[in-house]
Amino acid sequence: MARAIPRRDFLNGAAMTIGAALLPEIDRASGTNSGQPQNQTGYNPPTSVGLRGSHPGSFEIAHSLRDGTFWKNAATPEPVSEKYDLIIVGGGISGLAAAYFYRESVGPGAKILILENHDDFGGHAKRNEFHLDGKLQLLNGGTMLIDSPTPYSAEAAGLMKKLGIDAVALDKKCSDHDLYKSLGLGTGVFFDGETFGADRLVVEAATEDRENSGDAPDTAKLEEFLAKTPFKGPARRDILRIERGEIDYLPGLTSAEKKDRLSRISYKDFLLNIAKVEPSVIPFYQTRTNGEWGVGIDAEPALDCWALGLPGFQGLQLEPGAAPRMSYSAGGYANGGSDRFHFPDGNASIARLLVRVLIPSAIPGNSVEDIVTAPVRYDRLDTDNSPIRIRLNSTAVRVRNAAHSNISRGVEVTYASGKRVFSLRAGACVLACWNMTIPYLCPDLSDKQKEALHYLVKVPLVYTSVGIRNWISFQKLGISNINAPGAYWNSVSLNWPVKIGDYQSPRSPEEPILLHLSRTPCKPGLPAREQHKVGRMELLVTSFETFERKIRDQLARMLAAGGFDPARDIEAITVNRWPHGYGYEYNPLFDPEWPEGQQPHILGRKRFGRITIANSDSGATAYTDVAIDQAYRAINELLTA
Ligand SMILES: Cc1cc2nc3c(=O)[nH]c(=O)nc-3n(C[C@H](O)[C@H](O)[C@H](O)COP(=O)(O)OP(=O)(O)OC[C@H]3O[C@@H](n4cnc5c(N)ncnc54)[C@H](O)[C@@H]3O)c2cc1C
> What's the 625 CA to ligand 1 centre distance in angstroms?
12
Residue 415 Cα: closest atom of ligand 1:
42
Residue of 160, 433, 601 best suited for mutating to test ligand 1, as the one with most atoms within 8 Å of CB: 433
> What's the 125 CA to ligand 1 centre distance in angstroms?
6
Stretch 514-536: mean pLDDT = 97
Stretch 477-489: mean pLDDT = 97
Q: What is the DSSP string of 68-108?
A: T-HHHHPPPPEEEEEEEEEEEE--BHHHHHHHHHHHHHH-T
Residue 141 Cα: closest atom of ligand 1:
1
Pairing state between β 200-203 and 186-191: antiparallel
Residue of 124, 436, 491 best suited for mutating to test ligand 1, as the one with most atoms within 8 Å of CB: 124
Residue 624 Cα: closest atom of ligand 1:
11
Q: Residue 492 and residue 481: Cα distance in Å, rounded?
A: 6
> What's the 120 CA to ligand 1 centre distance in angstroms?
12
Stretch 623-635: mean pLDDT = 97
List, for residues 153-190, the tens digit of each pLDDT value: 999 999 999 999 999 899 999 999 999 999 999 999 99
Ligand 1 pocket (Cβ < 6 Å) reads: 62, 89-95, 115-118, 123-125, 142-145, 147-148, 395-396, 432-434, 437, 441, 461, 463, 578, 581-583, 615-616, 622-624, 627
pLDDT band at 63 (very low <50, low <70, confident <90, very high): very high
pTM of the model: 0.93
Stretch 420-448: mean pLDDT = 96
Write the CB contacts of 5 (distance below 8 Å, at least 6 apart in sequence). Answer: 49, 467, 571, 572, 573
Percent of the chain with pLDDT over 70: 90
Query: Hey, which residues does 514 pair with through a beta bridge?
Result: 467
Write the CB contacts of 566 (distance below 8 Å, at least 6 apart in sequence). Answer: 551, 552, 555, 556
- Residue 16 has a pLDDT of 35
| pLDDT higher than threshold 80 for residue 212 | no
List, for residues 28-58, the tens digit of each pLDDT value: 444 445 578 999 999 999 999 999 999 999 9
Q: What is the DSSP string of 394-440?
A: -EEEEEEEGGGSSSSSSEEEEEEETTEEEEEEEEEEEE-S-GGGHHH
Residue 148 Cα: closest atom of ligand 1:
11
Residue 463 Cα: closest atom of ligand 1:
1
Which residue, judged by its Cα, is nearest atom 4 of ligand 1? Answer: 143
Write the CB contacts of 292 (distance below 8 Å, at least 6 apart in sequence). Answer: 308
Torsion angle of C-alpha atoms 387, 54, 58, 384, degrees rounded to 10: -10
Residue 581 Cα: closest atom of ligand 1:
53
| pLDDT higher than threshold 50 for residue 5 | no
Find which of 10-19, 23-32, 333-342, 395-404 is predicted with most confidence, using mean pLDDT.
Answer: 395-404
Residue 434 Cα: closest atom of ligand 1:
37
| pLDDT higher than threshold 70 for residue 462 | yes
Which residue, judged by its Cα, is nearest atom 30 of ligand 1? Answer: 123
> What's the 52 CA to ligand 1 centre distance in angstroms?
14
| pLDDT higher than threshold 50 for residue 6 | no
Residue 211, judged by CB atoms within 10 A of its CB (0-12, 13-18, 19+), counts as exposed
List, for residues 232-283, the tens digit of each pLDDT value: 999 999 999 999 999 999 999 999 999 999 999 999 999 999 999 999 999 9
Q: Which has the closest alpha carbon to 140: 370, 434, 460, 464?
A: 464
Which residue, judged by its Cα, is nearest atom 39 of ligand 1? Answer: 433
> What's the 92 CA to ligand 1 centre distance in angstroms?
6
Of 257-271, 320-334, 412-426, 619-633, least confident by mean pLDDT is: 320-334
Find which of 142-156, 336-350, 615-629 is predicted with most confidence, using mean pLDDT.
Answer: 615-629
| pLDDT higher than threshold 50 for residue 25 | no
List, for residues 130-147, the tens digit of each pLDDT value: 999 999 999 999 999 998
What is the chain's Cα-based Rg?
Answer: 25
The mean pLDDT of the chain is: 91
Stretch 437-466: mean pLDDT = 96
Residue 437 Cα: closest atom of ligand 1:
38
Long-range contacts of 283-290 (CB under 8 A, 24+ apart): 283/195, 283/196, 283/485, 283/486, 284/231, 284/239, 284/485, 285/310, 285/485, 286/485, 286/486, 286/524, 287/485, 287/486, 287/490, 287/520, 288/485, 290/490, 290/520, 290/522
- Residue 336 has a pLDDT of 61
pLDDT band at 338 (very low <50, low <70, confident <90, very high): confident
- Residue 326 has a pLDDT of 53
Stretch 585-589: mean pLDDT = 95
Of 8-12, 29-33, 71-75, 620-624, least confident by mean pLDDT is: 8-12
> Which amino acid, one-letter code, is at 567?
A
Percent of the chain with pLDDT over 90: 85
Write the CB contacts of 396 (distance below 8 Å, at least 6 apart in sequence). Answer: 89, 115, 117, 413, 414, 415, 433, 441
| pLDDT higher than threshold 60 for residue 344 | yes
SS3 string of 380-406?
HCCCCCCCEEEECCCEEEEEEEHHHCC
Residue 574, judged by CB atoms within 10 A of its CB (0-12, 13-18, 19+), counts as buried
| pLDDT higher than threshold 70 for residue 23 | no
Which residue, judged by its Cα, is nearest atom 1 of ligand 1? Answer: 142
> What's the 123 CA to ligand 1 centre distance in angstroms?
4
Which residue, judged by its Cα, is nearest atom 53 of ligand 1? Answer: 581
| pLDDT higher than threshold 90 for residue 21 | no
| pLDDT higher than threshold 60 for residue 330 | no
- Residue 404 has a pLDDT of 79
| pLDDT higher than threshold 80 for residue 339 | no
Q: Which has the closest alpha carbon to 271: 305, 294, 246, 295?
A: 305
From residue 403, alpha-carbon distances to 87, 301, 328, 396, 415 in Å are: 18, 46, 45, 19, 19
> What's the 93 CA to ligand 1 centre distance in angstroms?
7
pLDDT band at 335 (very low <50, low <70, confident <90, very high): low
List, for residues 88-120, the tens digit of each pLDDT value: 999 999 999 999 999 999 999 999 999 999 999
| pLDDT higher than threshold 80 for residue 597 | yes
Residue 61 Cα: closest atom of ligand 1:
41
